[in-house]
Copies of this chain bind each other. A is one copy, B any other.
Amino acid sequence: VTRVADQPSAFDVLVAQAAERLERSAFDFLDGGATDEITLDANRRAFERWCLLPRTCVDVSTVDVSVELRHARLDVPYFVAPSGAHRLFHPDAEFASAAAAKSSGAVYVTSTAASVSMEELAAVAPDERWYQLYCFRDRGVVADLVRRAEHSGYRALVVTVDAPVLGRRLRDVRNNFSVGPEIRWANLEPYGAADLGGPTDGSVVARYFADQIDPSITWDDIEQLVASTHLPVYVKGVLHPGDARRAVSAGVQGVYVSNHGGRQLDRVPATLDALGDIVEAVGDELDVLVDGGVRCAADVVIALARGADAVGLGRLVIYALAAGGQASMTAVLDELRDDLIHTLRLLGVPRLRSLDRSSLVPARPTES
């Protein structure tokens, strides 16, 4: 007897397609995490520890899946999380991923390490587009990136703080991961730092990172960033409730609970596990975003019920990009939206903004 659990899921098929179409080193760069990939795995398993607890006899003939952030209403509660160098995964690069986000109503966050510049991307990206920022040693670069994001219509800044140094991504080290001259960090071309090509010993990303990124930034730098722009700022990579409290006084609009997809420090908590304490600490004062391990609508619902205001999609959509470009990624995003509506119907929650912890129970209650 073959059970459904014995068959590859739609997600498994997507990963297999991506694996087939990509060079091994590019696939590993996408698929891999830091060190023993324990956190990478934990991000997924954390969702398995929660059950959905449905209400019945609720009119679910129409379902509203929009959510509200402090600066914007989102049509869907998820966004394309920032990730670098989409040209590694598909020749259409960020043009494809941004267009897919736009057609499906999702926010798009472009990375400092994008292979398409933020100005080029503005034309195809959704109106609600955000810019992800690394803190370069050269603060002039940072200031210029912020100014350019403002000018090209980005509506929020996402500053990454969990990467003072790069994580130990053993697959990249083993693969001597490097990229051809066609892969450039387009946002950085004005500063002469865009070229990743040429031979390398170990990971080219790790080498570049050590050269350019500042490991000495503090909350004072965050405060100065907030003061330097009219854009709302999200601090990405927060796992500790104490940091979330500090973020409040730094004046940011939100914290973004992330472990960088398990790619920075291994053996940190799953983001879903870290989320609860952070919502408890700052949920009334800040937006709380989260990413890590989200694969389906039930995961989105669990993260939101635990208190997140919106949920980032990383590998899920990039596997799709690799598997079939804009079309595949659009299909995944549209399917996710259908699945979310269907899930909310069966959950008895027609208005996503009303969702709260009463729709969850631990998966294995201890009873007596």
List residues of A whose CB falls within 8 A of some B CB: 1, 3-5, 7, 9, 15-16, 19, 27, 31-33, 35-38, 41-42, 48-61, 161-162, 164-165, 167-168, 170-171, 174, 215-219, 221-222, 235, 237-240, 242-243, 246, 264-269, 273-274, 276, 296, 298, 339, 342-343, 345-348, 358, 361-368
Verify B53–A268 contact, CB threshold 8 A. Answer: yes
- Can you list 16 contacts pairing A with B, beta carbon distance less than 8 Å? A3-B32, A5-B37, A42-B363, A53-B240, A53-B269, A54-B162, A55-B242, A56-B235, A57-B218, A57-B221, A59-B215, A60-B165, A164-B348, A165-B342, A269-B365, A276-B365
B361 touches A269 (CB 8 A): yes
**In the assembled complex, which residues on chain B have CB atoms less than 8 Å from the CB atom of A217?**
57, 59
Inter-subunit contact A368/B362 (CB<8 Å): yes
Bound complex: CA A298 to CA B239 (Å): 17
Are the CB atoms of A345 and B215 closer together than 8 Å?
yes
Bound form: Cα–Cα A14–B328 in Å = 42
Residues of B near A267 (CB, < 8 A) are 50-52, 298
A222 contacts B19, C-beta separation under 8 Å: no
List the B residue with the shortest CB-CB distance to A165.
B345
Chain B residues with CB under 8 A of A339: 168
In angstroms, Cα B240 to Cα A240, docked, is: 32
Q: For the complex formed, measure the closest distance between the CB of A342 and the CB atoms of chain B, giving whole angstroms.
A: 6
Quickly give the copy total for this chain. 4
CB-CB under 8 A from A346, the residues of chain B are: 162, 164-165, 167, 264-265
Assembled-state Cα–Cα distance A347/B34 (Å): 14
Contacts of A265 in B (CB 8 A): 52, 54, 343, 346-347
Shortest CB-to-CB span from A320 to chain B, Å, is: 16
Given contacts A3-B32, A5-B36, 18 further A-B contacts (CB under 8 A): A1-B15, A1-B31, A7-B174, A38-B48, A42-B51, A53-B269, A56-B235, A56-B238, A56-B239, A57-B217, A57-B222, A60-B165, A61-B215, A162-B346, A164-B348, A265-B346, A273-B361, A276-B365
Q: Nearest residue in B to A272 (C-beta to C-beta)? A: B367
Of the candidates B9, B56, B167, the one whose C-beta lies within 8 Å of that of A162 is B56
B residues within 8 A CB of A276?
Answer: 365, 367
Given B36, B52, B358, which contacts A9 in the complex, CB threshold below 8 Å? B36
A61–B216 CA distance with the chains assembled, in angstroms: 5
Q: Which of A57, A238, A296 has the most CB of B within 10 A?
A: A57
A200 to B: closest C-beta gap in Å: 19
B57 touches A345 (CB 8 A): no
Determine whether the beta carbon of B51 is less than 8 Å from that of A164: no
CA distance A129 to B189 in the complex (A): 54
How many Å from the CB of A365 to the closest CB on chain B? 6
Contacts of A362 in B (CB 8 A): 366-368
A171–B4 CB distance below 8 A = yes
Residue from B19, B51, B59, B239 within 8 A of A218 (CB atoms): B59
Residues of B within 8 A of A19 (CB): 1
**A348–B296 alpha-carbon span in the complex (Å):** 33
Are B366 and A54 touching (Cβ within 8 A)? no
CA distance A294 to B67 in the complex (A): 40
